[in-house]
């Protein structure tokens, strides 16, 4: 059963995801979702998701933390994009996003942004180009403003970033030039 009360043309309901300016409730597979996207004092409750403040979602033993400031945020399945730093743990996989572009397009488990994004992969190949209209996300792919090629598990990583806000985390490296990383189920 889905209940949706929307006032924005950008609201999109896809499977378990909901975005709108009103409070929404969704019960699906014994999972309750609550959204309140217009109040800065949103209080997370159970399997809740909101867009303008910090929220938590627990689904399939997975904890999600979202911090969004854009009405254009779209949650597709378990993927999220926003204009702020988001944290998502999906199937024991941690995602870190820093997005500033409304053009970010989430696809299943993939996220894009104009800044460095970090992810712990599951034997997955990532490739994305977030400044080209020909961007094609592949599964858990994440990139910054340049083309990043990533193949997980004892493979070579190539990051090409142009943001001064790039941060080094674990085995991952980002800078204004091309970097290579060899991972082993590591975090970036």
Q: How is 75-104 classified by DSSP, letter by letter?
A: -BTTB---SSEEEEE-SS-EEEEE---TT-
Report how far apart, in Å, the C-alpha atoms of 20 and of each of 42, 47, 52, 74, 167 are. Answer: 14, 16, 11, 9, 32
Which of 60, 92, 124 is where one domain is finished?
Answer: 92
Q: Span 27-43, mean pLDDT?
A: 30
Answer with the one of 55, 70, 92 that is the final residue of a domain. Answer: 92
Spell 26-53 as b/e; 16+ CB within 10 A means b: beeeeeebbbbbbeeebebeebbbbbbb
Same domain, 109 and 27: no
- Are residue 36 and residue 121 in the same domain, yes or no? no
Q: Global pTM?
A: 0.13
Instruction: Quote the pLDDT of residue 69.
Output: 28
What domain range is 131 assigned to? 100-188
Any idea which residue has 């060899």 for tokens?
A: 182
Average pLDDT of the segment spanning 167-171: 30
73 and 148 co-located in one domain: no
CA 93 to chain centre: 12
Domain shared by 76 and 127, yes or no: no
What integer best gives the mean pLDDT of the chain? Answer: 31
pLDDT in tens, 44-102: 323 333 332 233 333 322 223 332 222 233 332 233 333 223 333 332 222 333 332 33
Residue 170 confidence (pLDDT): 30
87, 122: one domain: no
Number of structural domains found in the chain: 2
């Amino acid at each position: 059963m889905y209940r949706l009360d929307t006032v924005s043309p950008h609201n999109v309901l896809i499977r378990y995801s909901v975005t709108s300016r009103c409070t929404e409730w969704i019960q699906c597979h014994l999972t309750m979702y609550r959204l309140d996207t217009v109040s800065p004092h949103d209080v997370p409750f159970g399997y809740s998701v909101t867009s303008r403040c910090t929220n938590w979602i627990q689904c399939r033993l997975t904890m999600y933390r979202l911090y969004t400031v854009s009405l254009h945020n779209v949650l597709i399945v378990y993927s999220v994009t926003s204009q702020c730093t988001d944290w998502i743990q999906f199937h024991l996989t941690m995602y870190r996003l820093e997005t500033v572009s409304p053009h970010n397009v989430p696809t299943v488990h993939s996220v894009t942004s104009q800044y460095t994004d970090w992810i712990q992969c599951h034997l997955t190949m990532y490739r994305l180009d977030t400044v080209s209209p020909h961007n094609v996300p592949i599964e858990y792919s994440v990139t910054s403003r340049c083309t990043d090629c990533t193949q997980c598990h004892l493979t070579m990583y190539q990051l090409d970033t142009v943001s001064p806000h790039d941060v080094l985390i674990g085995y991952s490296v980002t800078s204004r030039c091309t970097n290579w990383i060899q991972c082993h189920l590591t975090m970036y």
